[in-house]
Amino acid sequence: MLDDNTDIHPLFSDAPTTTQFKKLRKRIIRQVREAIEAYGMIERGAKWLVCLSGGKDSYTLLAALYELKWRGLLPVELLACNLDQGQPGFPSTVLPEFLERMQVPHRIEYQDTYSIVKDKIPETRTYCALCSRLRRGNLYRIAREEGCSAVVLGHHRDDILETFMMNLFHGGRLATMPPKLLNEEGDLFVYRPLAFVAEADCEKFARAMNYPIIPCDLCGSQDGLQRQQVKKMLDEWEARHPGRRQVMFRALMNARPSHLLDPRLFDFAALGNGA
């Protein structure tokens, strides 16, 4: 059972024993397992590159995946990877020491994408798009070098919702981060096993486990980002109507093409013509 602290992976060896934390851990593990099964992520014998930024979400992801693997519910090989992007003051020893202590196989890669982003993007514009593109390219390369079939990211339910709202308000399309994606080259999957997990649960979990959180000093240093504005709006909705986020998330899993306006998804012209 998940509440049995004997014979446990080191990532959970110092877990709190309170009933509240046990419920939180069970919920996260269950939701991660449900997402993995719902979107067909498991390919027995595969190798996953689990991306670890040092933030609360990626720590939660790593712990949940290793818990499932420890329990025999995730028959894949896991390799943790941190891409050190050269941000000034980045504590480069924190993650290697943590991963060694937790007995987690890992690769630490240094690529100074920070300087590229700062050079190419004016301070009045957001860094996220270029930073993300450079990071993704390096992670794909590392995954190929390590023989991995998937790059696994720590995006959670709230990230998915915020991306949907940003695309709706600013991109003019109904789209978000899918839990499972095949890259353009067709040789790597991108998985998001935290798709069903709330950001608040990741925060509670990482804080309770006392993981060494490393803040992002690049995009996190900018004010007025579109994502921050969307996040604030969703927070206000949730405060007024608790559960609003989950209702919206369920809507993303219950799309009805015939009740939208995209003729590429539904043949409106054929209606009434014997089709």
Q: Where are the domains of the chain?
A: 15-253
Give the tens place of pLDDT for each residue, 20-79.
999 999 999 999 999 999 999 998 889 999 999 899 999 999 999 999 999 999 999 999
Q: What is the CATH number of domain 15-253?
A: 3.40.50.620
Structural tokens at position 45:
């014998």
Cα–Cα distance measured from residue 89 to residue 191, given in angstroms and rounded to the nearest whole number: 30
132, 153 Cβ separation under 8 angstroms = no
Cα–Cα distance measured from residue 150 to residue 147, given in angstroms and rounded to the nearest whole number: 9
What pLDDT sits at residue 130?
A: 66
Q: What is the mean pLDDT of residues 87-95?
A: 82
Selected residue with higher pLDDT from 61 and 126: 61
Strand order, beta sheet including 106-110: 106-110, 77-84, 47-51, 150-152, 189-191, 180-182
- Is the pLDDT score of 115 beyond 50? yes
What pLDDT sits at residue 163?
A: 93
